[in-house]
Structures are given as structure tokens and as C-alpha cells.
Structure 1
Amino acid sequence: MTIRSSRTALFLLLLVSFVWGAEFVLIDMAVAIMPTHSFNTFRFLIAALSLLPLLWIAKEQIRSSQFWKLLGAGLLLGFLLFIGFYTQTEGLRYTSVSNAGFITGLNVPLVPVIGYLLFRKQVGKHVWLGILAASLGLYLLTMGGDLELNQGDLLVLTCAFAFAAHIVLTGRFVNDLPVVTLSIIQLTAVAIYSTLAAWLSPEPAFYYPEATPTSWLEQLNQPIVIWALLIAGLFGTAYAYWAQSACQTILEPHKVALVFATEPVFAHVTAWIFLDEHLGPQGFVGAGLIICGMLLSELGDRRKKPHMEPLEHSTSVN
């Protein structure tokens, strides 16, 4: 399926953002039953398998010279996704859905920072102002008067860094590698990494130590787990990665990031409706600053096109 209308592309990406925001509630309830590594194993296995028909439709050709680069890129990107989704999903056990949504959104202003550190991609003052606003918002949202983050907030903050690095590196790989094949490899890699992590963990794979022992079949008999896996696997993972790749063929990156900046808003709205979570006045100010930081970093002076060069080829540090 080829996206030809920018309006259609924006709608599809807004749907992705809505799914990502809304699924926080489902995943929050599911990981209270099924441990994180096992949940992510099933989620990404479903996502990888659901993309196989698209691979047949796309009829991508893989040159022999691309094989090892394709495999290496898929394993690396998959590892970043594994870290990101593990810390995000595990973090939901210890922090609120609203906090998790807004902290995850910090990956938007983090992208230019990591892009500069890795590839010397220059950024303007508006980006640094956005980062400052988002950092202040993070403080107000999560710490208040205490100079510490709780365990869940720290885990989700790690997730934001992993997602930002994934976005930056994906931009380097998709130019000369088949997109659908790369997506399937990285999603399969996450399923494999999660399986290994569940197997190596000293804790039981399918139940928490304090809970009654259960098998994976019993876990999958839980309706909330089934719905969370299907929605997160099919829509929040497989559909989301296809839509992002397809829509970026006609939309500029700043427009894509701007749409994705609505994800934490959807996360908070669904948490408010289904879990009765409330941010409070200070939390709303913090969340607003994070959104302002996202917008500043993406909607600043776009007239100056950035120059990007690999770190190993740079001759000076600006």
C-alpha cells in the first residue's frame, strides 16, 4: 500500500500516536499478570509474524552484499527496541501511566542530541531551549520537591534514550536497506532477546514470585493479557512501524515527530478515563513544559538544513 496524500499520512500517524498512548493502560494491567519479558516475547513475535504478508506483497529484493549489514542493523535496532520496551513496560509496574507517557515523549527532544553526539548533526538554539523546557517539565512531573526519581520513572527515562537512539540509527539504515525486511528482523530480534532474558532471569518466566505459580497457557487465558498482546502486537508494533516507514516517504521528519508528540496526551486521557489518574496542578505544568519542549525542538527554525557527517569523518568538534 502506497501513501499518496499527506492528509492521509497525518491521519495514519495520529492513529499510531493514539494507539501508543492508549495501550499504556492495557499494558499496565497486563504486566500486573504476566512478567515483562514474557509479555514482550509474545508481543513482538505476533508483530513479526503479522508483517510477513506485507513482505510478500512488497517483494523486496535483498542483494548478497546487503545480507550481513541487514542482519547487523536488525540485531542492533532490535536490541535498542528490547531495552526501550523492557524498561517502559517494567517501569509501568512502578510509576503511573501518565508519567510513563510523558517521560517516553522525551525521546522527541533527545533525538537531535543523540544525532549530534553520534553524527555531528548540527542543531539550533530552539532545540536546546526545547530540551531545557522538557527537562524542567520532567522535574515538575516526577520529582516535585524531592531530588530523586522513583524506580519506574528512571526505567521509563532509560526507555526514552533507547527510543531516541533507535530513531537516529534507523534514519541511517533505511536509506539503503529494504525496510520491511529490516523491520521483521528487528522485531524478531526483540522476541529472541526477551525470550533469552526470561530464561536467564532467576525469577519465574510466567508469574511473579509472590503470585500463585501458573503456566504460559494459563497466562494467555486471561482476557486482559490476550487483548493487550493483540492490540500492542498488531497495532502498537506491526502497524505502527509500517505506518511510520510508509508515511515518511511523503512527510518531513518534523511533521512526523510533531504528530507523535501527542502520544503522552492520549496516554494521560486514557489513564484519567480508565484508571482515574490525576496529574495535579504541578503535574499539569510539568506535562505542558514537556510538550512545549517537544514542539520547540521540532518546530524551530527549519529553514536551515542540517549537515550530517559520520563521527569518524569529522575533523573538528563544534
Structure 2
Amino acid sequence: MPINSPRTAVILLLLVSFIWGSEFVLIDLAIELIPTHTFNAVRFLLAALSLTPLLWLNRSQLHGVRWRSLLGASALLGFLLFIGFYTQTEGMHYTSVSNAGFITGLNVPLVPLLGFLLFRTRASIAVWAGVIIATTGLYLLTVGDKLAFNRGDSLVLVCAFGFAVHILLTGRFVNSLPVVPLSILQLLAVALYSTIGAVTSPDPALYHPGSTPLNWQALASDPIVVSAALITGILGTGYAYWAQSACQQILESHKVALIFATEPVFACLAAWLFLNEKLGTVGLIGAGLIITAMLISELGDRRNKVKLEPLDQTTSVTD
């Protein structure tokens, strides 16, 4: 069923940000036990499988599909996700959580900037104001006055670029390719790339060097690994990237980036609820700025109404 209301799209993407922010601790615990490539291979395979019922329900989308374009777009989007998730996770071995959160959040200003440089897509003044305010809010929320660059930050910066380009290209591909097959195939591509990475790595595929050797049976019976794979695979990956692809049919890429900037807000809220961590005055100001940025961008850009028309059994954005 196509999403034809911008308000519904915003709600669905806010739910994605909530899931991403809430699952961070679980991923962090799982990665302590299982290597990044292996965890991502399992996670993205589960994500692709969780979307297969949608493929059956939307099987009319396969009629007349341009398979070469679909496979090429899926391989490219999957590669960007693979690079983004791998560099972010590896970078966090060498940098702080606050640095990683802020630098990853730089995809917010990168989306409209790269959109203009690559595709000459212009954003309104309200959007740019929202981008600047959201970036300031990200800095206050995740870093505060403790910014100190280290060797892991360059890896996380690659992640920010990867996520930004993924958002931009998704916005272009969903206007001509069916959403559900595109979502499933790009997730399968990430699983394939991660499997290749795990097999070709000189390190063991199932455990970290120097730790107790593990086998599939041990990992499959570990509650942390199993719960992390299921929750992040089905909700944080399968649902998330279907929702992104579907919602970008009616939301501009820069608005999607601004909505995703709320992820650290939800992460801090989850830490407050479950880990008894306190946000502090500076963090609260940062969270407030991010929410304010979304409102400024949305309310200030209301004059640019989204025009909907049928395309491949779905809705699309027309200029």
C-alpha cells in the first residue's frame, strides 16, 4: 500500500529514528561478542527475509519491472549501506560514542550540500535554517564541550558521507523503481558484501581475535546475539529501509535527513529510561534545537506542496 500523506511519512520515519536510537546499546553488546561483518551479514539477511511477505502482497510491482536498473540500483544502495555500517562500527572501536554520534549526524548538512553539488537540487531558506540549527543541536547533544578528534573519526566521517549519498540516491531511484523489490534486494546486497568481508578477513569470522573461540551453535544460543540480530534485523533494518524508500516518494531527501537527526534524541531518552543516564542542560538544549529545526523546515516549506501521481503502482514526487 503506497504512502500518500506527508504527515504519515514523517511519523513512520520518526519511528525509524526511535528504533535506531533505542537499539544502540543492544548492538554495542552484540558486537563485543561477534565480529562486525558477521553480525551485519546475519542482520541484513534477516531484514530481507522479513520483507518477503510484502513482496507477495505487492507482486503487481514486478510486472514490467526493469530488472537491470533494479539490480544495479540495489547493488549500489547496498554498497553504500555496507560501507556506512561497517565504517561506523569499526570507527567506534577507536573513537568515543559522542564523537561517532556527532560525525554520523553530519549527514544532515551533507544531504542538501551534496544534493546541490551532484544533482543541482536546491533547498529553501527554511530547510537550510533547519539544517544549521539541527547540526548545532547534534553537536550540543552528542559532544558538548568534549570534542577531541582521534583516528576513528575519519572512518565515521566516511559513514556520514555513505549515509548522505544513500539518502540522495534513494530519493531518485524510488521515483522509477518498485519500492519493495528495491528494499529487499539492497538488503540482500549488504548481506552478501558483509559475508564476503567476513570470509576474506584474516580474522576469525565468528569471534574476535584473542577471545574465546565460538561456533554457530554457541552464537545461536546467546540471548544477546539472538535478540540483537532479530530486533535490529526486522525492525532496525527491514522496516527502517522499507519505510525510508516508501517515504522518500513523497518527502524530499533533505527532510528525511532532518528527521533522522532525531535518532540521538531517542538514544539519549532510552539511556535515561533504561540506564539512568542524565542528559544535562546542554544536551537538553541540543535536543530542543533538533526538534525546532524539524519544525522550522516543515512549517517554513509548506508552500512547496508535494504533487502526487501514479507511477508503477505507487506514488511519486514530481518537480
Q: Which runs of structure 1 show a deviation greater than 6 angstroms over 4 or more consecutive aligned residues? A: 141-147
1:171 aligns with 2:171: yes
AA partner of residue 23 (structure 2): E
Aligned residue in 1 for 2:207: 207
> How far has the Cα of 1:39 moved from its partner?
0.6
> How far has the Cα of 1:71 moved from its partner?
1.2
Matched residues in 2 for 1:140 and 1:17: separation? Answer: 18
Aligned residue in 1 for 2:118: 118
Aligned residue in 1 for 2:41: 41
- 2:23 counterpart SS class: helix
> How far has the Cα of 1:184 moved from its partner?
1.2
Matched residues in 1 for 2:108 and 2:51: separation? Answer: 26
Aligned residue in 2 for 1:219: 219
- 2:38 touches 2:198 (CA, 8 Å); kept in 1? yes
> How far has the Cα of 1:105 moved from its partner?
3.2
Aligned residue in 2 for 1:14: 14
- 1:129 touches 1:296 (CA, 8 Å); kept in 2? yes
Worse-matched range after superposition: 204-213 or 4-13: 4-13
Identical counterparts, % of pairs: 66
Matched residues in 2 for 1:90 and 1:211: separation? Answer: 17
Q: Which runs of 5+ in 2 are unaligned?
A: 306-319
Worse-matched range after superposition: 134-143 or 192-201: 134-143
AA partner of residue 242 (structure 1): W
Given the superposition, is the C-alpha separation of residues 277 and 86 from structure 1 closer, same or farther in structure 2, using an over 3 Å criterion? farther
- 1:101 touches 1:263 (CA, 8 Å); kept in 2? no
Aligned residue in 2 for 1:90: 90
Aligned residue in 2 for 1:309: none
Q: Which runs of 5+ in 1 are unaligned?
A: 306-318
Matched residues in 2 for 1:236 and 1:195: separation? Answer: 19
AA partner of residue 69 (structure 2): K
- 2:130 touches 2:293 (CA, 8 Å); kept in 1? yes
Given the superposition, is the C-alpha separation of residues 18 and 146 from structure 1 closer, same or farther in structure 2, using an over 3 Å criterion? closer
- 2:114 counterpart SS class: helix
- RMSD between aligned alpha carbons? 3.4
Matched residues in 2 for 1:285 and 1:249: separation? Answer: 32
Matching of residues 294-309 of structure 1 within 5 Å: 300-301=300-301, 303=303
Q: Under a length normalisation based on structure 2, what TM-score does the superposition of the two structures give?
A: 0.80
Aligned residues: 306
- 1:21 counterpart SS class: helix
AA partner of residue 263 (structure 2): E
Worse-matched range after superposition: 93-102 or 205-214: 93-102
Matched residues in 2 for 1:251 and 1:210: separation? Answer: 47
Q: Under a length normalisation based on structure 1, what TM-score does the superposition of the two structures give?
A: 0.80
- 1:187 counterpart SS class: helix
Aligned residue in 2 for 1:149: 149
Q: Deviations over 1:188-209 (max 9, x none)?
A: 1100111111122222211111
Q: Deviations over 1:232-259 (max 9, x none)?
A: 1000111122233344556666665554
Given the superposition, is the C-alpha separation of residues 278 and 26 from structure 1 closer, same or farther in structure 2, using an over 3 Å criterion? same
Matched residues in 1 for 2:97 and 2:253: separation? Answer: 27
> How far has the Cα of 1:290 moved from its partner?
6.0
> How far has the Cα of 1:217 moved from its partner?
2.8
> How far has the Cα of 1:292 moved from its partner?
5.8
Matched residues in 1 for 2:15 and 2:279: separation? Answer: 24
